Chains A and B, each alone.
Chain A
Amino acid sequence: MNNSAQLEQGLKYLSSASLKQVQQKVAEAKQRLTQRPEPQVQEAGSRADSALRWTVKSENGQLKVEALANTSEFDVTSISTLEESTAEPAALKFAGYTIDLKAKISQYSESYAKNYMLTKSHNYMVAKFAELKTAFFGALLSAMGVEIDDIEKLRKKALKDAVRQNKVMLEENEYNSELLSIIGGSKKLMRRQQKIIKEIRRQLTLQAKQLGVEDQYTAESLLDVRIAQCSKILDKFNEEKFNLKYQLNCMGVN
């Protein structure tokens, strides 16, 4: 049956059927679509450190080898991933007990540095809340007798770490972007992944601006990063090729 005949039949049905009947037909069609057999996908000899994830798909009784990008883009976030200590500081004297806060100086220093890093976040709310916490931990450290110079040093170190982390995350994001562009996949999936990567890139650039290093993220330097990541991918591909050739040789000998 051709399309125009199908359309005519559909229109006839719509003019004669009640709303309830039409709804029932639509529900049946949806069910038919969802009950389509999904192709079975299995892992096929992938190494953990490889840029590729090999899979074997069975479609219409035939096995098909396919490659997927071994990315970690969903692990990447532009929010600091350092461990956070959330222990609430206890008072010096509580219910007759004296608590030694000085023993917790290192813990509070870490919290101070971590929150100072977060004050440069792209997320306005996260940044403001971190500012509040930084002020609180700063006051606490001062009350414990930590010198202002030491607090300043902590701040500088946190800033340096934040810049380094931002750079690493940008490189990782570009690596994923390049790998996905090379390996590809379904258009819909690619569009979705590229959207995420674009958003992470935007957040990281914004964070770099907050950190005062936006000059390092020029179009030229971004292209340099991409070339470096492409070279990294190429090395991984060559390594994989070498491994596959080795396996093939082994099979040929036997």
Chain B
Amino acid sequence: MSEKLMLEENPQVSAKDLDIKLKKLESYIQKTQTRIKLHEKAIGKLQKALKEDLVRADEAVKAIKKIKVSV
């Protein structure tokens, strides 16, 4: 697409504008990647908490069984 044709289609577009757009887009891409990492970290934390809960529940079950045996 030639520049003339592009400008006819969209008179607002200029090389400077495109440069600004690209820079902004780069920052948005970085932000998105950060958000993905943030969510993954949150999932990791949740899974860790769940595992801890499971261990605690197992210990509780074992303790209850011991009490039953002693009774």
When chains A and B are docked, how far (Å) is the Cα of A54 from the Cα of B43?
A: 34
Closest chain A CB from B34 CB (angstroms): 9
User: Which chain B residues (1-60) contact chain A, with CB distance < 8 Å?
Assistant: 1-4, 6, 10, 12-13, 15, 17-22, 24-26, 28-29, 31-33, 35-36, 39-40, 42-43, 46-47
Which residues from B are CB-within-8-Å of A220?
A: 43, 46-47
Choice from B3, B31, B43 contacting A182 with Cβ under 8 Å: B31
When chains A and B are docked, how far (Å) is the Cα of A35 from the Cα of B36?
A: 44
Which residues from A are CB-within-8-Å of B6?
A: 247, 250-251
Is A14 in the interface zone, CB < 8 Å from B? no
The count of residues in chain A whose C-beta lies closer than 8 Å to any C-beta of chain B is 35
By size class, the interface of chain B is 20 to 34
When chains A and B are docked, how far (Å) is the Cα of A252 from the Cα of B33?
A: 30
Choice from B10, B33, B36 contacting A45 with Cβ under 8 Å: B10
Contacts known (A56-B17, A219-B46); A45 close to B29, Cβ less than 8 A: no
Closest chain B CB from A43 CB (angstroms): 8
Residues of A in contact with B (beta carbons under 8 Å apart) = 42-45, 52, 54, 56, 65, 67, 178, 181-183, 219-220, 223-224, 226-227, 230-231, 233-234, 237-238, 240-241, 244-245, 247-248, 250-252, 254
Extra 16 A-B pairs, beta carbons < 8 Å, given A67-B24, A248-B15:
A44-B17, A65-B17, A65-B24, A178-B35, A181-B35, A182-B28, A224-B43, A226-B39, A234-B32, A234-B33, A241-B22, A247-B13, A250-B1, A250-B2, A251-B6, A254-B2
